[in-house]
């Protein structure tokens, strides 16, 4: 069946549903969403909705987090196979080994992780609150999972703590190299370089601003510059162009193909038939809820 934005709006009302979309979701998904934002904003939005059904246009860990934070709601995803490769890049063994070896240790889990990894952790973070939360924790030692690039970015700003890493990375952001950013700067010398902290240290060092997707958008709005090289997934250009119509944006990173699985057809199908439901065991919800709630508390 062919779905238009109008048809999706009618289905949303009929099914008492709300649509959440990450900035990396396709333009067509962002255009019909009730909430569009970064990972932190969307996690909070999931706790606040009164609608019976949440359609989450993101990757699987995001749908899981929405279900964990609002278990009485039905959470649907346009494509349940949309997964974040990095979400699996830490192991139970790594966590258990370090917990046994290092005293005064907190396991800090980037929200880009499976529910299982969250349940083994002390607190979750997103890229917009990781520095604040790492500083606020009472422990001297931190095992940061799974993203080593974000972890190293946080560690540089929290020098009073010792950091350990599990070695994970985002394949989309890791694709960007110092050379590719320098070449983009040479082609657009007046442009500011806006970079997500999931990028490597060398890419971050070649940048003018580092922040989460929401922070990148806020920076572009406030900045006096007229051109920007965008070192994160190019889905953010939809909101950047909407909010800054007079400014130019040059995408530097490749697309996250999993995020692009959230098509209008997929949204329509899951709304119409109830397919793509995120199902978690009660015990798994309870175990992963604690670090997510602690994040919401510490990020206030």
Q: Which does 258 bind (CB under 5 to 8 A by kind): ligand SF4, ligand 13P, none?
A: ligand SF4
Closest contact distance (angstroms) between CB of 85 and ligand SF4 is: 5
Of the candidate residues 112, 149, 195, 207, the single one contacting ligand SF4 (CB under 6 A): 112
Of the candidate residues 213, 220, 258, 278, the single one contacting ligand 13P (CB under 6 A): 213
Of the candidate residues 11, 17, 38, 238, the single one contacting ligand 13P (CB under 6 A): 38
With CB under 6 A as the contact rule, which of the stretches 48-56, 137-145, 165-173, 210-218 interacts with ligand SF4? 165-173
Give DSSP secondary structure letters for 43-92: HHHHHH--SSEEEEES-HHHHHHHHHHSTTSEEE-S-TT---GGGG-S-H
CB-based contacts of 186: which residues, under 8 Å, 6+ apart? none
3-state secondary structure of 33: coil
Of the candidate residues 19, 25, 39, 269, the single one contacting ligand 13P (CB under 6 A): 39
Of the candidate residues 70, 126, 149, 195, the single one contacting ligand 13P (CB under 6 A): 126
Q: How many residues bind ligand SF4 (CB under 6 A)?
A: 14
Site string for ligand SF4, 33-72 (x = CB under 6 A): --------------------------x-------------
With CB under 6 A as the contact rule, which of the stretches 25-33, 45-53, 95-103, 126-134 interacts with ligand 13P? 126-134
Instruction: Decide if residue 195 touches ligand 13P (CB under 6 A).
Output: no
Closest contact distance (angstroms) between CB of 272 and ligand 13P is: 27
Cβ closest to ligand 13P, residue 139 vs residue 198: 198
Give DSSP secondary structure letters for 253-285: SPP-TTGGG--HHHHHHHHHH--SB----HHHH
Candidates 136, 129, 117; CA nearest to 291 is 117
Give DSSP secondary structure letters for 172-202: HHHT--HHHHHHHHHHSTTPEEEE-TTS-HH
Instruction: Decide if residue 172 touches ligand SF4 (CB under 6 A).
Output: yes
Instruction: Decide if residue 231 touches ligand SF4 (CB under 6 A).
Output: no
Instruction: Decide if residue 181 touches ligand SF4 (CB under 6 A).
Output: no
Cβ closest to ligand 13P, residue 8 vs residue 45: 45
What is the 3-state secondary structure of 228-244? EEEECCCCHHHHHHHHC
Tell me the C-alpha to C-alpha distance, in Å, between residue 238 and each of 18, 60, 184.
20, 22, 20
Instruction: Decide if residue 200 touches ligand 13P (CB under 6 A).
Output: no
Q: Which does 127 bind (CB under 5 to 8 A by kind): ligand SF4, ligand 13P, none?
A: ligand 13P
Of the candidate residues 109, 259, 271, 287, the single one contacting ligand SF4 (CB under 6 A): 259
* Rg of the Cα atoms in the chain: 19
Paired tokens of 291: 């670090």
Query: Computed from CA positions of residues 91, 92, 97, 98, in that sequence, does the dihedral angle turn out positive or negative?
Result: positive
User: What is the Cα–Cα distance from 280 to 277, expressed in whole angstroms?
Assistant: 10
**Prior bond of 51 cis (ω within 30°):** no
* Residues 274/74, Cβ–Cβ less than 8 Å: yes
* Residues in touch with ligand SF4 (CB under 6 A): 24, 59, 84-86, 112, 170-172, 198, 233, 256, 258-259
């Amino acid at each position: 069946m062919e779905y238009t934005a109008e048809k999706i709006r009618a289905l949303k009302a009929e099914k008492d549903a709300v649509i959440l979309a990450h900035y990396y979701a396709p333009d067509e998904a962002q255009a019909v969403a009730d909430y569009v934002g970064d990972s932190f904003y969307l996690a909070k939005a999931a706790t606040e909705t009164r609608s019976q059904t949440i359609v989450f246009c993101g990757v699987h860990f995001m749908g899981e987090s929405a279900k964990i934070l609002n278990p009485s709601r039905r959470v649907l995803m346009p494509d349940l196979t949309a997964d974040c490769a990095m979400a699996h890049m830490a192991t139970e063994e790594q966590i258990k080994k370090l917990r046994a070896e290092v005293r005064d240790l907190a396991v800090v889990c980037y929200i880009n992780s499976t529910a299982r990894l969250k349940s083994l952790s002390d607190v979750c973070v997103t890229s917009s609150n990781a520095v604040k939360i790492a500083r606020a924790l009472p422990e001297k030692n931190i095992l940061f999972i799974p993203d080593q690039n974000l972890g190293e970015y946080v560690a540089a700003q929290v020098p009073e703590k010792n950091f350990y890493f599990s070695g994970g990375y985002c394949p989309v952001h890791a694709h960007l190299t110092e050379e590719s950013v320098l070449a983009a700067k040479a082609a657009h010398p007046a442009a500011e370089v806006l970079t997500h902290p999931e990028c490597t240290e060398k890419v971050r060092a070649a940048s003018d601003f580092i922040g989460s997707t929401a922070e990148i958008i806020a920076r572009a709005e406030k900045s006096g510059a007229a051109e920007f090289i965008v070192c994160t997934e190019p889905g953010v250009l939809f909101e950047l162009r909407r909010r800054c119509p007079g400014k130019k944006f040059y995408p530097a990173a490749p697309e996250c193909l999993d995020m692009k699985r959230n098509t209008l057809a997929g949204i329509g199908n899951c709304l119409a038939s109830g397919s793509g439901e995120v199902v978690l065991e009660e015990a798994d919800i309870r175990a992963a809820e604690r670090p997510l709630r602690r994040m919401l508390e510490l990020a206030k």
